[in-house]
Amino acid sequence: MNATSAEKLADATGIDPGAIEHGATIKSVYVYEAPVRLWHWINALAITVLCVTGYFIGSPLPTMPGEASANYLMGYIRFAHFAAGYVLAVGLIGRAYWALVGNHHSRELFTLPLTQPAYWREVITMLKWYAFLIPQPSRYVGHNPMARLAMFFGYFLFSLFMILTGFAMYGEGLQAGSWADHLFGWVIPLMGQSQDVHTWHHFGMWGMVIFVTLHIYAAIREDIMGRQSIVSTMISGYRTFKK
């Protein structure tokens, strides 16, 4: 919309022409479908529960008042951890299904154009943006190349590792011959012994905490400093761009 058109519309509506011109520069694109958004927030809740309960499983409370038989706190913590683990695993399976039937943005979590030089140039551009070396980044409808790289290695592969090691330990509790032992029991001898799996699973939890912290920082920073919406996009599904 040019200045003359804005002034004419302002005269007719009584609205400031500057506000009209500003509104005309805002563009929205539908990016994330409802199943992707629902999965994102349920998954975020599951990871939060897993990290909190996992910490207390690895570092239990020193004592509880009264008789041991009168307290079941650790039992509740373990149950919440196992339930959230199921949600994480089933959610990832559902997310993989939607990558096959959803729009092309839903596949960005599982694919990386590693052989394309243009992709790596854009990754370097985003690294410069996050390092405050350039005044503004490029615009991307879906995940930016750096975020896509981080989501694949920092979330997808990390989640697979945590699911495999988590259900391997879960199979120990269900005893030999259980479904979890049959499906995931091979993880323990592959990694050495049970304690090795526990240790690496615990390290994985801290790796997930670091990823989530950086993810939240980058999303809020982009909303404030960038020219496109991030947080609200995962609520409404629309990416909003401003000149």
Dump pLDDT digits (tens) for 92-129: 999 999 999 999 899 999 999 999 999 999 999 999 99
> Mind listing the pLDDT tens digit for each residue in 152-183?
999 999 999 999 999 999 999 899 889 999 99
Q: What would the 3-class secondary structure string for the chain be?
A: CCHHHHHHHHHHHCCCHHHHHHHHCCEEEECCCHHHHHHHHHHHHHHHHHHHHHHHHHCCCCCCCCCHHHCCHHHHHHHHHHHHHHHHHHHHHHHHHHHHHCCHHHHCCCCCCCCCHHHHHHHHHHHHHHCCCCCCCCCCCCCCHHHHHHHHHHHHHHHHHHHHHHHHHHHHHHCCCCHHHHHHCCHHHHHCCHHHHHHHHHHHHHHHHHHHHHHHHHHHHHHHHCCECCCCHHHHCEEEECC
- Name the residue type at position 80: A
Q: What is the pLDDT of residues 12-45, one digit of tens each?
A: 444 444 433 444 456 788 999 999 999 999 999 9
pLDDT tens by residue, 187-197: 999 999 999 99
pLDDT (average), residues 224-230: 84
State which amino acid sits at residue 169. Answer: M
Give percent of the chain above pLDDT 70. 89
CA atoms within 13 A on the CB side of 179: 0
pLDDT attached to residue 25: 53
pLDDT at 107: 92
The predicted structure's pLDDT at residue 63: 75
How far apart are alpha carbons 178 and 172 in whole angstroms?
A: 9
203 token code pair: 């390290």
Q: Which residue has the higher pLDDT, 7 or 106?
A: 106
Domains and CATH numbers, the chain: 1-30 (no CATH), 31-241 (1.20.950.20)
Reported confidence tier of residue 140, pLDDT bands at 50, 70, 90: confident
pLDDT value at position 69?
Answer: 73
Q: Taking the alpha carbons of 218, 121, 40, 84 in that order, is the dihedral positive or negative?
A: negative
Task: Give 59-68 pLDDT, tens digit per residue.
Answer: 888 777 777 7
Mean per-residue pLDDT of the chain: 87
